Amino acid sequence: MNRPTKVLALGLATLLATTTAAAAQDVLNLYNWGNYTPPDMLEKFTAETGIQVTVTDFDSNDTALTRVRQGGHGFDIAVPSNPQVPIWIEEGLFQPLDPAIVTNHGNISPNWVDVPFDPGREYTVPWAWGTTGVIVNTNVYDGDPNTADIFLDPPPELQGKVNVIPEMSDVMHLAIRAVGGEPCTGDTDILREVRDRLTAAKPHWIAMDYGTVDAYAAGDIGAGVYWNGASMRARLQNDALVYGYPQTGFPVWMDNAGVLADAQNPKAAMQFINFILEPENAAMISNFTRYANGIRGSEPYLDDVMQTAPEIVVPEELVDAGRFSVTCPAEVNDIYTQIWTELLQ
């Protein structure tokens, strides 16, 4: 190749590289739970920054962690639940937040700052928080909804009509508490009973699926294990649905947004993190997902239905049954995974 041709080729290569870099800077790739990101909030972010946002859904914490661990994913931000966050941090999957860009850090409610899964919020910020309980269609079953027996020992009316979300930590928490154990227990007698009860119950389930708001609203599913915000979204379409808090115990959790260590567009990711810490924008997440958000000052922007919703306000007599989800030791988590794997077969 002669010199003029080399110069032309190098010039084209530089132009292409510059164009590609510029395009990357204008796009942010968000990896989030399905049906969990308000489109109008993304439109607002793009209008303010010029940055387009693409969203890829995941259906469980395990799915998200496995994909990001593999690398080559192209995501900038991920939103795992609190029990998983320490794993992401310890494995170097998240990078520390940039205080020069994330200037709204002080908007995080004080009770959500010094959290055990990310002390001082060095890596993550709140996206939404809630509970995991049971949802029941009262046209199918009008008994007490505040019991884990809805899915562990379904009454005749619900057999073959129960859906269980495919989220190991939530289901194991509910089942362990139902048989008298504590979260993250390694007691073999307790875990054997949990395994046996889940295995015996599964034939009475119709599915293990997570995207079921419309199915509940349509009356296609009679009951199941579900998250409170998703249950509220279904109930707003079908008032026969009620959300129950198992008296034996239920998990309280928080989903958290962090910038990935190998983010292609870390600056835009930090801008987005700062954006969702604005009270009005945090409220947009809550009004769409129907979960609380953990951001101070967002209350005036919340829809009226959020203030007194039974899926948001835990009955006083059941408050103490809620326990914040924790990260289990690796050896205990391995046992849970074995039980879960057997259940999925």
Q: Considering the domain delimited by 3-128+254-305, tell me its CATH architecture.
A: 3-Layer(aba) Sandwich (3.40)
Kindly give the confidence (pLDDT) of every residue in the chain, 345 residues in length, as a single tens digit, with 9 standing for 90 and above.
333 333 344 444 433 333 334 444 589 999 999 999 999 999 999 999 999 999 999 989 999 999 999 999 999 999 999 999 999 999 999 999 999 999 999 999 999 999 999 999 999 999 999 999 999 999 999 999 999 999 999 999 999 999 999 999 999 999 999 999 999 999 999 999 999 999 999 999 999 998 799 999 999 999 999 999 999 999 999 999 999 999 999 999 999 999 999 999 999 999 999 999 999 999 999 999 999 999 999 999 999 999 899 999 999 999 999 999 999 999 999 999 999 999 998
Q: Which of 14, 97, 338, 334 is nearest to 199 (CA)?
A: 338
> Which class would CATH give 130-252+314-344?
alpha beta
Q: pTM value? A: 0.89
| CB-based contacts of 89, cutoff 8 Å, min separation 6 | 118, 123
- Which distant-in-sequence residues (6+ apart) come within 8 Å of 303 by Cβ? 287
Identical fold, 3-128+254-305 and 130-252+314-344: yes
Instruction: List the chain domain ranges.
Output: 3-128+254-305, 130-252+314-344
φ, ψ (nearest 5 deg) of residue 256 = -135, 135
